[in-house]
């Protein structure tokens, strides 16, 4: 069985797939509310394409996965981005594949840590929500609209994903 | 000085002003990811009106306020909704005013607790981000676009806000 090891989630490494939503003090930021709050602006754009499309905020309560994790399939949403942001400090796996002429290539895995969320670009192949340590509640920012916005792909053989 | 006491943040009480973003087990929800995750769907809609408008995800690092809190001004964003969701369990005040022919009426205050976020409807008069216990990081989902999207109003006399 093919195996991959999750790498740390950084903006640079994740750039082909989406945005990392996190506060980094060395990023550009500016005061709001008379200086009591610092705003780290515009970390991600929420996209909702197509008929009667809008951006909605939802939540998800996710049960933890055991490691190693086996990736049987990936999915993508051609018409919209999709953000997942935990509302408690959490570690979760982010599994993505580059697109290769309409099919997912070999997956890559990232380990998101406390204070990190992600936003998949529209069309990014990705695995399921995979929190690691305990039940975790997430904010989801994604598309509502008319029409089909889900494609799935099952790998011939599952990929085994682990962390260092 | 006029005084108000913050009331618990509930969907019913907050209905004129916006959405409460929280997981309530008795709400409609449905399994995703082969049943490992329950999705509480469509708790709020992100609105971005006007030219070149889009929905962006930002973050804010907010310093705590002392109680009582004095509300000198409120603001609103006619062209877009604005969501604030803490990424750690937190208590924060949500201060809003009904609109009365283009000006804010007497403010109301709500106390948001752990697991709660809010989404102000476009045009809702509201106070500044007011976390209570410690430095708190928030997700913000709001509008980016061309044109003026901020109106502020300063009260003749500040309002004193406290909790029970």
Residue A154 in any domain: the answer is yes
Q: Which residues contact A134 (CB under 8 A, 6 or more apart)?
A: A64, A90
pLDDT band at B34 (very low <50, low <70, confident <90, very high): confident
Q: Name which of A37, A39, A47, A84 to mutate to probe chain B: the one with the most chain B Cβ atoms within 10 A of its Cβ.
A: A37
CA B26 from centre of chain: 23
| Cα distance between the two ends of chain A | 18
Per-residue pLDDT, averaged over A128-152, amounts to 96
Q: Which residues contact B104 (CB under 8 A, 6 or more apart)?
A: B74, B76, B97, B98, B125, B153, B155
- The whole-angstrom distance between B132's CA and the closest CA on chain A is 12
Judging contacts by C-beta atoms under 8 Å, the chain B residues touching residue A23 are: 59, 61, 137
Q: Is B42 helix (H, G, I), strand (E, B) or coil?
A: strand
Judging contacts by C-beta atoms under 8 Å, the chain B residues touching residue A92 are: none
- Would you give the DSSP letter of residue B63? P
Contact A37 B86 (CB under 8 A): no
Indicate if the pLDDT at residue B33 is higher than 90.
no
Query: Taking CA atoms, what residue in B is nearest to A59?
Result: B40
Contact (CB, 8 A) for A81 and A143: yes
Q: What is the pLDDT of residues A111-126, one digit of tens each?
A: 999 999 999 999 999 9
Contact B61 A55 (CB under 8 A): no
Going by DSSP bridges, is the β-strand pair B108-112/B7-8 parallel, antiparallel, or unpaired? parallel
Q: Per the structure, how many domains does chain B have?
A: 1
Q: What is the pLDDT of residues B46-93, one digit of tens each?
A: 999 998 999 999 999 999 999 999 999 999 999 999 999 999 999 999
pLDDT, residue B51, reads: 86
Judging contacts by C-beta atoms under 8 Å, the chain B residues touching residue A128 are: 32-34, 36-37
Q: What is the pLDDT of residues B96-123, one digit of tens each?
A: 999 999 999 999 999 999 999 999 999 9
* Strand boundaries in chain B, DSSP class E: 3-5, 7-8, 18-21, 30-32, 37-46, 54-62, 69-76, 82-86, 92-97, 99-100, 103-104, 108-112, 117-120, 125-126, 130-131, 136-144, 151-162
Nearest neighbour of A59 by CB, restricted to B21, B63, B144: B21
Indicate if the pLDDT at residue B35 is higher than 90.
no
CATH number (domain holding residue B156): 2.60.120.480
Residue A56 in any domain: the answer is yes
Q: What is the pLDDT of residues B116-149, one digit of tens each?
A: 999 999 999 999 999 999 999 999 999 999 989 9
pTM greater than 0.90 (yes/no): yes
Token pair 């005013």 in the structure block, residue: B97
Residue B49 in any domain: the answer is yes
CB count within 10 Å of CB A55 equals 27
Whats the size of chain A, residue-wise?
A: 164
Judging contacts by C-beta atoms under 8 Å, the chain A residues touching residue B142 are: none
CB count within 10 Å of CB B24 equals 13
Residue A128 in any domain: the answer is yes
For residue B119, whether the previous peptide bond is cis, meaning omega lies within 30 degrees of 0, is no
Contact B86 A87 (CB under 8 A): yes
Q: Is B34 helix (H, G, I), strand (E, B) or coil?
A: helix
For residue B90, the enclosing domain spans 3-23+44-162
Query: Taking CA atoms, what residue in A is nearest to B86?
Result: A87
Residue A144 in any domain: the answer is yes
Contact (CB, 8 A) for B54 and B143: yes
Q: What is the pLDDT of residues A12-60, one digit of tens each?
A: 999 999 999 999 988 999 999 888 999 999 999 999 999 899 999 999 9
Pick the more confident residue, B10 or A148: B10
Residue B155 in any domain: the answer is yes
Contact (CB, 8 A) for B71 and B127: yes
Residue A29 in any domain: the answer is no
CB count within 10 Å of CB A117 equals 27
Residue A36 in any domain: the answer is no
Judging contacts by C-beta atoms under 8 Å, the chain A residues touching residue B88 are: 87-89
């Amino acid at each position: 069985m093919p195996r991959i090891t999750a790498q740390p989630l950084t903006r640079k490494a994740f750039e082909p797939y989406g945005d990392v939503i996190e506060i980094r003090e060395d990023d550009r930021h500016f005061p709001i509310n008379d200086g009591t709050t610092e705003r780290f602006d515009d970390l991600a754009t929420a996209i909702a394409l197509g008929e009667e499309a809008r951006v909605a905020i939802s939540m998800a309560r996710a049960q933890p996965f055991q490691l190693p994790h086996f990736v049987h399939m990936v999915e993508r949403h051609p018409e919209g981005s999709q953000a997942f942001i935990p509302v408690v400090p959490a570690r979760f796996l982010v599994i993505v594949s580059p697109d290769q002429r309409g099919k997912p290539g070999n997956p890559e895995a990232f380990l998101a840590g406390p204070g990190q969320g992600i936003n998949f670009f529209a069309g990014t192949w990705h695995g399921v929500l995979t929190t690691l340590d305990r039940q975790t509640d997430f904010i989801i920012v994604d598309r509502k609209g008319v029409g089909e916005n889900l494609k799935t792909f099952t790998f011939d053989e599952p990929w085994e994903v682990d962390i260092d």
